Structure 1
Amino acid sequence: MKRRSAGAEVVNEHPLWLYVREAKDRFEDLSDRVWGSPETCYSEHASVAAHIEELRFQGFELHEALAGIPTAVMGKYGREGPVIAFLGEYDALAGLSQKADIAQKDPLESGANGHGCGHNLLGSASMLAATALKRWLAQTGTPGRVRYYGCPAEEGGAGKAFMVRAGAFDDVDIAITWHPGDVAGFVKGSSLAIARVDFTFEGRAAHAADAPHLGRSALDAVELMSVGVNYMREHIPDTARIHSAILDSGGLSPNVVHAYAKVSYMVRADTTADMLTLLRRVEKVAEGAALMTETQVTVDVNSGSSNLVYNPTLGDLMQRNLDRLGPPPFTSKDTAYAARFQATLSEDDIRQSYAAKGIVEKERKALADFNVPASTPAMPFGGSTDVADVSWVVPTVQMWGATHAIGTQLHSWQAVAQGKGRPALKGMVHAATVMAATAADALMQPDVLARAQEDLARYVGSVGYISPLPKDAMPLA
């Protein structure tokens, strides 16, 4: 069979492309169903149920509540040969409810959740790739085992870090995943290691007018901690990031000395070791704030993720499949749809999208009718992902998919609104096609598996993986 890529010469079709096309309709429906039930951090009960239903339909052997996490699941197929893992996600974000296909901010339900990072697409495409590979293994008799990992709580909960700690990936040979975005290409750069930490201050309540001298304000401690962290910012690496949000200010009345207050911090740095060092400095600031206010502080590290390990062998293999397939088959109708959303974005949004991929905008496009060129340099990724923890123990490759109008910022209402559109679904199937073909090529080229393991061993070195999670940390909603 033959296929013509946009702007490219006729190329031979990869055998996995057909298997993806034959199965795609059910996974487009799965993506839409998950979009319609957005659930956050370890509460993805409807979403994981939908994934379990589809895994069962596709004939996978099920392992529910994987790693002791109720909303994690694994489906597996095959009895011998290398283990190929596809990583999926399905968690949403709080406060991003938005009607589909509407190019203006219009929540379905004010204050409710929404799929602002495209994880409805992410999990569906990864399972589609796993299903296509499963069918190919069964038809050809090629030795190999395929697994789909349904991973909860990527947004702030570090589900995969807990799964790694529980040994869920110990016998996996390679892991493959992707993330929705606005231009297709594989991820060459690293990510920032991160810890999510809650600081709870407890003091003594008092009447703020009659006896303020008897009170010890936990809210003062939160504010002083913020001042201290702000003074730290001059003295941390340029690439480090510290963010915070007050979870509980301790009350609504200004006439009360607040005896309780709670603030959450995210601490990010280039490596896990650097992040843990920076976290200790933030903890010292909290201790100082408690000392100044004569309050008590409790520190709870809820989650953490490592920095991403890039695997050049698998990256080259995925790039060859991107080149062979070409970009998603967007139509003029798809472009017109995306243009409505791009019109709601700023010039800075669009410029940032190109800059983040290391490419130059030559002409204004609403949708990416191109893939990121192989010659593009690795670009730093300022965010964090728990895929990184898998990448420290298993050779891992990840790609960006072209699912949204160019310039769309993740974690925005625009991303939610486009999550059921035809461009998003076409980009999702495109990513599944690349991932499935990459997996099949790895199975047909045993030297790839060996070289991928060598790449990982060189990066990890003798120290090996250091979990960013404290030993007593547990997955928390």
Structure 2
Amino acid sequence: MNEFVNGYLKENKSYFESVSAYIFNHPETRFEEYESAKYLAEECEKQGFKVERNVAGIDTAFTATYGTEEPEIGFLGEFDALSGLSQQPGETTYQPLETDIGHGCGHNLLGTGAFAAACATKAYLEHHNLPGKVTFFGCPGEEGGSGKTFMVRNGVFDKVDAALTWHPSSTNAIMDFSTLANYQVYFKFHGRSSHAAHTPHLGRSALDAVELMNVGVNYLREHVIPDARMHYAVTNTGGISPNVVQAQAEVLYLIRAPRVDQVEEIYQRVVKIAEGAAMMTETEMTIDFDKGCSNYIPNRHLEKLLYEGLEAAGGGEPKEEEKAFAEKLWDTLPESVQQNYLEPISGFGYTGDGSEYAGKYLADTISPYIGREGILPGSTDVGDVSWVVPTAQLSAATSALGTILHSWQMTSQGLSDFANRGMLRAAEGMAIAGVRLFESKEDLAQVRAEFDSFREKHDYMNPIPDDVTPSKLSDR
């Protein structure tokens, strides 16, 4: 099994590198990944998968399936990029491009790695004439859009027996922490314009309401659970003329907590603050619920299988020129980031003390799997998949130690040989785990039993209301 998967990925290495490069060179933001989704879906068809487009009513969501029998093992792929994170690849200085969109979270690698894992698993089933169904899920809008949560709401994953995915990082490990659930909500205030000097008493400032709301939420921070997070961005200040009382203003809030019910409780308190700000300014307030996602539920037995696959793939040995490049990138990082570089990768599964990285700038080992209890202080729509399907994730080293996600340094490394090897390492680990589930009814039964035991005690409610649709950045 291991030898077959490894051999398949080596034989098709150049092909998968070209797929990743195409997605990297066509960066698109959430729910507007038209070129990337079209290309990736067509590549799935070329590899013998049956593709269904416009899944869950989302233009850029698709599924690619091989086989018709049980069990069904899914591989989750993403391909959206981020605004403001373009960068000339392979450079150690900030060199943004004219179109300022880039893969600063490595989703060109993520989507391609999951696709490669699906292809390798399919090839194994074909070669050994085994029953089963392999599905690659083309999942758009992870960055600020919760695409998978919309897909879960529409039942896309209902018949899947297990799901596997990964994320680029600077370490090789199993992502064993839970994550934060969240709501993303726009608060819009409507006032009355007036001359700010001649008749200010006749105006009602929507911008004042936004400012008062933000002040109120900042006071709320002391009175919520420590793991909660509340972020905001003022998305409409009401204009650029200070001599006009601002009649319209808007603020976008992202509210996070370890569980959806905790997010809901905090959200209702934030709504009261917004209502109070509207009362104080005699303005009107409306709410536009944008999206939400649930906390991630780890499946320990599935993680163990994924760890065995990652170990079989191995940590790899960086080339001398890659080490030199990584050191130059390290030198671009603030001292505070360098001193605390282990903290971010701990959330991605790293369990060591850093001693194996002494004098190094690239990871070349697999971090031991423990199955820790803890929370990664971030959110992912993989969380909602994990509530309806047993799910496990790994991280693979595609960037230099200290590299922060959503940074130009991350984008700069997105086409490197080191990143490509990490992508295929992830694919190998996932494919081996996927094949194991097809070959071992006992392992699949254990995975399912653990999942069922959790769900018997915990109800799931999709955090996105039925009337909410996916939002594109260009709509705002």
Give your verdict on TM over 0.5: yes
Query: Who is 2:397 aligned against?
Result: 402
Residue identity in the other structure for 1:457:
D
User: Hey, what does 1:360 align to over in structure 2?
Assistant: 353
What secondary structure does 1:125 align onto?
A: helix
Q: Deviations over 1:335-357 (max 9, x none)?
A: 22222212212343244332323
- Aligned residue among 224, 228, 232 for 1:236: 224
Shift of 1:92: 0.6
Asked if structure 2 preserves the Cα contact closer than 8 Å seen for 1:38 and 1:114, the reply is yes
> Using the alignment, how far apart are the partners of 1:461 and 1:227 within structure 2?
41
Q: Report how far residue 463 of structure 1 moved.
A: 4.3
- For residues 126-275 of structure 1, the aligned pairs below 5 Å read 126-275=114-263
CA distance in 1, matches of 2:334, 2:269: 37
1:94 to 83, 91, 114: 83
From 111, 118, 132, the counterpart of 1:123: 111
* C-alpha distance in structure 1 between counterparts of 2:448 and 2:337, whole Å: 38
Q: 1:423 aligns with which of 418, 422, 443?
A: 418
Report the Cα distance in structure 1 between the residues aligned to 2:137 and 2:468, rounded to whole angstroms. 22
Q: 1:247 is matched by which residue type in structure 2?
A: T
> 1:276 — aligned with what?
264
In the other structure, the counterpart of 1:8 is none
Give SS of 1:226's match.
helix
Find out whether 1:467 has 2:459 as its counterpart: no
Residue type of the alignment partner of 1:99:
Q
CA shift at 1:13, angstroms? 4.4
State the distance in 2 between where 1:376 and 1:166 align: 31
Letter in 1 for 2:64: G
In structure 1, the gaps of 5 or more residues are 1-11
1:445-464 paired onto structure 2 within 5 Å? 445-464=440-459
Q: Moved runs in structure 1, 4+ residues, more than 3 A?
A: 350-353, 375-379
Displacement of 1:374: 2.1
Query: What is the CA-CA distance between 1:470 and the residue it aligns to?
Result: 1.4
Q: Would the aligned equivalents of 2:312 and 2:429 in 1 still touch at CA under 8 Å?
A: no
Q: What letter corresponds to residue 154 of structure 1 in structure 2?
A: E
The code of the aligned residue for 2:33 comes to E
Which of 46, 63, 74 is the aligned partner of 2:63? Answer: 74
Distance 1:218 1:292, change over 3 A: same
Q: Structure 1 residue 22: deviation in Å?
A: 2.1
Match of 2:72 among 83, 102, 113: 83
**3-state SS, counterpart of residue 86 of structure 1:** strand
Shift of 1:39: 0.8
For the residues of structure 1 that align with 2:333 and 2:264, how far apart are their CA atoms?
36
Distance in 1 between the 2:336 and 2:352 partners?
A: 15
The 1-side partners of 2:446 and 2:118 are apart by: 23
Alpha-carbon spacing, 1:299–1:258, altered in 2? closer, same or farther (3 Å): same
Aligned equivalent of 1:43:
32
Task: Report the Cα distance in structure 2 between the residues aligned to 1:151 and 1:341, rounded to whole angstroms.
Answer: 31
Cross-structure match for 1:4: none
Instruction: Work out the CA distance in 1 between the residues paired with 2:458 and 2:391.
Output: 19
- Alpha-carbon offset, residue 301 of structure 1: 1.1
> Structure 2 counterpart of 1:226, which letter?
N
8 Å CA contact 1:101–1:418 kept in 2: the answer is yes
> Any conservation in 1 of the 2:174–2:369 contact (CA below 8 Å)?
no
Distance across 2 between alignment mates of 1:379 and 1:345 = 27
- Render the CA deviation track for 1:57-92: whole Å, top value 9, x for unaligned: 111101001111001111100021200100000001
How does the TM-score come out when normalised to structure 2? 0.95
| 1:327 correspondence with 2:322 | no
**Pairwise CA RMSD:** 1.4
Query: How many angstroms does 1:316 deviate by?
Result: 0.8
Match of 1:55 in 2: 44
Q: Give the 3 Å change call, closer, same or farther, for CA 173–187 of structure 1 in structure 2.
A: same
For the 8 Å contact 2:113–2:427, the answer to whether it is kept is yes
Q: Aligned to 1:406, what secondary structure does the other structure show?
A: coil
Q: Deviations over 1:174-224 (max 9, x none)?
A: 000000000011111100001110011101111111111111110000000
Query: What is the total number of aligned residue pairs between the two structures?
Result: 465
Measured after TM superposition, the shift of residue 459 of structure 1 is 2.2
Gaps of 5+ in 2: none
TM-score using structure 1 length = 0.95
How far apart in 2 are the matches of 1:119 and 1:240? 27
Partner of 2:329: 341
* 2:300–2:371 contact (8 Å) kept in structure 1: no
Checking the alignment, whether the CA contact within 8 Å between 2:351 and 2:368 is kept in structure 1 is: no
1:390 equivalenced with 2:378 (yes/no): no
CA contact (8 A) 1:304 1:468 kept: yes
- Deviation digits for residues 322-369 of structure 1, max 9, x if unmatched? 222221342223222222212212343244332323421111311101
The 3-state SS of whatever aligns with 1:160 is helix
Separation in structure 2 between the aligned mates of residue 401 and residue 464 of structure 1, nearest angstrom = 32
CA drift at 1:458: 2.2
State percent identity of aligned pairs.
Answer: 44
SS in 1 for 2:92: coil
8 Å CA contact retained: 2:2, 2:432:
no
Counterpart for residue 18 of structure 2: 29
Q: Following TM superposition, by how much is the alpha carbon of 1:14 offset from its aligned partner in structure 2, in angstroms?
A: 3.6
Q: Secondary structure at the match of 2:187?
A: strand
